[in-house]
Amino acid sequence: MLSVKNGGRDLPLALGTILNQSFTNFELIAINNGSTDQTRAYLDSIADPRVRVFHQADAGLAGALNRGISLARGRYIARQDHDDLADPSRIAKQVQFLDTHPDHALVGTRAEIWVGDTPSGRFHDHPTDDRLLRFDLLFNNPFVHSSVMIRKAALDRVGAYTTDPARQPPEDYELWSRISRHYRVTNLAERLTIYREVPSSMSRVSARPFLEKLVTISSENLAHATGATAPQQVHVDIAALFHGVEGRVSAEPNLADMCAVLAEAGRRIGDDQAGPELAKRVANAQLQIRHRVMLKRQPALGLAWRAARAVRGKLRRLIPAAREGS
């Protein structure tokens, strides 16, 4: 399933990596979401009978993907972005996994990161273990959107992408969070996707509103993980501190309560049998929260830390870090 808006330059190569998959029994639903470039003409020129093309006015990414889901006839739905690339074995390996793991509803893959058409030497090597992924989902999105395959039955149960402006983007993070509350999730250990960073990427614009929405989703995940019916201020404090959204942190966040919430989330996710990797994640999250509380209580130190963090971020973009995991 693919949604594209003005992606004519990159679309042929990306679409070609799907049409040339070793697994051939699929339909490719391409939603032309309000393009004004050559996208329409290119899609209409494709003769492959597996490709189903639909043209529409711009409905936003979530709206376009939801239309694609409603049109899908298969039992699995694979995502593909118009500018990312797929290994020829990707679909076959994901189908095989879901066929043999009926308790899983979502399977992604690890990914190479390219900057435009150039390999960066960086990777999205997200975890493969369900428990580690569910803990990571408390704060962030450990799945590459264009690498994911989902059971259609799971979407029928939990719903499709949210179109609530207060909660998307990131519509993918929000949906994976809901799926993980009912099913197991995983990433394949192989890098079967090439994720291309481009200047116009939706995740790279409107940073502040994007962070606000991350806090909303993260606080919901923390509440669910600890058995609460809705986020309480302690959940919002953790999420807001983690993402640096100071305006949503209470005047005096309770460090002991926040650490207790993180410990309880880890205990429940681990079913009282947390292995060393999950325990390490819990401890690291507690450490980060302690650090951010310290910065909040010492504004001058916090200002210096944020400046250093900004410099480090610029250096990372300028100097590719070989073997870097994400």
**Cα 43 to the chain's mean position, in Å?**
27
Token pair listed for 71: 């049109």
Q: Is residue 321 scored above 90 in pLDDT?
A: no
Strand partners for 131 = none
pLDDT given for residue 274 in this prediction:
67
Token pair listed for 209: 């509103």
Q: Is residue 318 scored above 60 in pLDDT?
A: no
How far lies 213's CA from each of 6, 220, 265, 286, 305, in Å?
A: 26, 11, 21, 22, 24
* Over residues 176-204, mean pLDDT: 87
For 110, the 3-state DSSP assignment is strand
* Over residues 74-102, mean pLDDT: 97
Contact 266, 225 (CB under 8 A): no
- Amino acid (1-letter code) at residue 284: N
CA distance 121 to 321: 6
Contact 110, 142 (CB under 8 A): no
Per residue in 117-159, pLDDT (tens digit) is 999 999 999 999 999 999 999 999 999 999 999 999 999 999 9
CA distance 110 to 107: 10
Q: Which is more confident, 272 or 65?
A: 65
In what helix (H) or strand (E) does residue 186 lie, and over which residues does it extend?
strand 184-197
CA distance 242 to 286: 10
Average pLDDT, the chain: 91
Strand partners for 86 = 193
pLDDT band at 314 (very low <50, low <70, confident <90, very high): low
Percent residues over pLDDT 90 in the chain: 83
Task: Find the angle CA(222)-CA(206)-CA(79) to the nearest 5 degrees.
Answer: 65
Per residue in 256-311, pLDDT (tens digit) is 999 999 999 999 999 877 689 999 999 999 999 999 998 887 765 555 545 555 55
